[in-house]
Structure 1
Amino acid sequence: MTVHVTGLRVALDGTPILHGVDLTVAAGEWVTVIGPNGAGKSTLLRAVGGLLPFTGTVTIAGTELGRLARRARARRVATVVQSPVVPPGMAVLDYVLLGRTPYIAPLGRESAADLTAVHDVLRRLDLEPFASRRLETLSGGERQRVFLARALAQGASVLLLDEPTSALDIGHQQEVLELVDRLRRENGLTVLATMHDLTTAGEYADRLVLLADGRVAAAGPPADVLTETLLAEHYRVRVRVIPGDHGPLVVPVRG
């Protein structure tokens, strides 16, 4: 499903955060939004997911977001925010099963197909041993994988990932991103993500969008956006950008 964002503006508590952002994510494409702290990356993702009020237009597969009922929207778009609310006492299996809510009738129960989908995601994310554990007993990295599992169990065609690997060690970072990329290719997922790690962003995304002060400062293939000049201007940092096998490698350099 293609995502179109046109003239997106968001204000929080009366303070403008996004100032007319335009971007497109083609069906099956992976686009990652980068930018310094406070640029508006998370706000952009939450607005596209329908979690924040905005002006402008967001369309999913040609349908305006505001015209979609909540259940219909949840079948199209799954969002992983940075700090989801963790219900006290809830087991991992039950939390991931919440991702199937759009397919369960009101006052109904999950089907065998719902349970199969959940167990498949738990297996893919190496979470089966934690199925009966309470969420609050898990480490930050383990919880992050559970949050992603719930989104994947939702079966949506558009996946919004806000810093999906921020709490993971380097091994699980790679595992999670490789899994998302494989599911994207196998199932035609459309992925819109935010990331702080510029090298990782460039390795996995088809295109990058550099956000600065709530506006799009640059957009295009990773090699066109991850340049020493652009990064110095918007991040106020000295870096070396080295060509890599899957994208530019960004290395900080001391002044």
Structure 2
Amino acid sequence: MPPSSGGGPPPAVEVRRLQVALGGVPVLTGVELTVAAGEWVTVIGPNGAGKSTLLRAVGGLLPAPGAISLFGTPSEALRRRERARVVATVPQSPVVPPGMAVLDYVLLGRTPYIPPLGRETAADLAAVDDVLGRLDLRGFADRELATLSGGERQRVFLARALAQGATLLLLDEPTSALDIGHQQEVLELVDQLRREHGLTVLATMHDLSIAGEYADRLVLLSAGRVAAVGPPRAVLTEELLAAHYRATVRVVQGEHGPLVVPVRRRHG
């Protein structure tokens, strides 16, 4: 799905000339990005390219005055509770309160809908139960997060974001701790929810084949700039990956997108 233009609805995400420096070091320099409502865009790039920084800026965790709009509203104009109803983020390493059970953690996703000093409603509990069921987590509801495997925790983090009911989902390496079976389950679920409920997805991924299978468009970040953008077949080319990842790969055209296969370099 290409970005909307003309008199259509505003894009879900619009980034214009984004500059971010961390500790005085430039990380993103002049990044431009548009994500249409209902689109799935995945940001790829080598380590240190600025992928996570870009997601944090879009999610409001880093200041970016005048550079980011969400559904037509300047990001800085959104209050915290308003933003939480629009944007849900699954970071790479969420902070988990010690001793917290899975059910209570996922319920935190309903915080934007619970009045101050109020309690969750039956509707909040039903929303959480539905998400736990979809992610095969009902059997873990009373377990402490600290007792779960990395892959199980990753599904719980996604469950909290989905329980939030936001229309924009930011996923920072959502499959990094998952085995291949759960990778497919999680991404198929996200794609199903996107189609059923009009979710917009902006993700980062290291696995290029998976990125190409699920995204409508890919954005290749390199050294803090957009090096390429377009459908997976246009971005996942042997030439671009060699130039920006310094990798020797073979790209095979699959049914749903290009498959990137590392090729061992010849010696001698």
Q: Supply the AA of the counterpart residue of 1:178.
A: E
Separation in structure 2 between the aligned mates of residue 160 and residue 56 of structure 1, nearest angstrom: 20
1:56 CA displacement:
4.4
1:51 to 61, 70, 80: 61
Moved over 4 A (4+): none
Separation in structure 2 between the aligned mates of residue 43 and residue 190 of structure 1, nearest angstrom: 19
2:126 to 116, 137, 140: 116
1:76 CA displacement:
0.2
Counting only pairs closer than 5 Å after superposition, residues 83-122 of structure 1 correspond to structure 2 as 83-122=93-132
Residues 1:235 and 2:245 aligned together? yes
Kept in 1: contact 2:92–2:173 (CA 8 A)? yes
Separation in structure 1 between the aligned mates of residue 193 and residue 68 of structure 2, nearest angstrom: 24
Kept in 2: contact 1:10–1:55 (CA 8 A)? no
1:78 aligned residue? 88
Separation in structure 2 between the aligned mates of residue 82 and residue 218 of structure 1, nearest angstrom: 24
1:20 aligned residue? 30
Q: Supply the AA of the counterpart residue of 1:45.
A: L
Q: Supply the AA of the counterpart residue of 1:9.
A: Q
1:53 CA displacement:
1.7
1:86 CA displacement:
1.1
Separation in structure 1 between the aligned mates of residue 191 and residue 227 of structure 2, nearest angstrom: 26
Residues 1:176 and 2:194 aligned together? no
Residues 1:69 and 2:76 aligned together? no
Q: How many residues align?
A: 255
1:54 CA displacement:
2.5
1:166 aligned residue? 176
1:55 CA displacement:
4.4
| Sequence identity (%) | 78
Cα deviation per residue 1:6-60 (whole Å; 9 max; x = unaligned)?
1111111111100010001100000000000000000000110001123441111
Kept in 2: contact 1:32–1:201 (CA 8 A)? yes
Q: Secondary structure at the match of 1:217?
A: strand
2:236 to 214, 226, 249: 226
2:208 to 192, 198, 204: 198
2:136 to 110, 126, 140: 126
Indicate the larger mover: 49-58 or 59-68.
49-58
Residues 1:188 and 2:198 aligned together? yes
Cα deviation per residue 1:99-158 (whole Å; 9 max; x = unaligned)?
000000000000100000000000000000000000101111100000000000000000
Q: Supply the AA of the counterpart residue of 1:217.
A: A
2:21 aligned residue? 11
1:175 CA displacement:
0.1
1:230 CA displacement:
0.2
Separation in structure 2 between the aligned mates of residue 76 and residue 49 of structure 1, nearest angstrom: 10
Q: Secondary structure at the match of 2:49?
A: coil
Q: Supply the AA of the counterpart residue of 2:201.
A: V
Kept in 2: contact 1:7–1:55 (CA 8 A)? no
Gaps of 5+ in 1: none
2:147 to 137, 145, 149: 137
Separation in structure 1 between the aligned mates of residue 66 and residue 93 of structure 2, nearest angstrom: 26
CA root-mean-square deviation = 0.7
Separation in structure 2 between the aligned mates of residue 50 and residue 107 of structure 1, nearest angstrom: 25
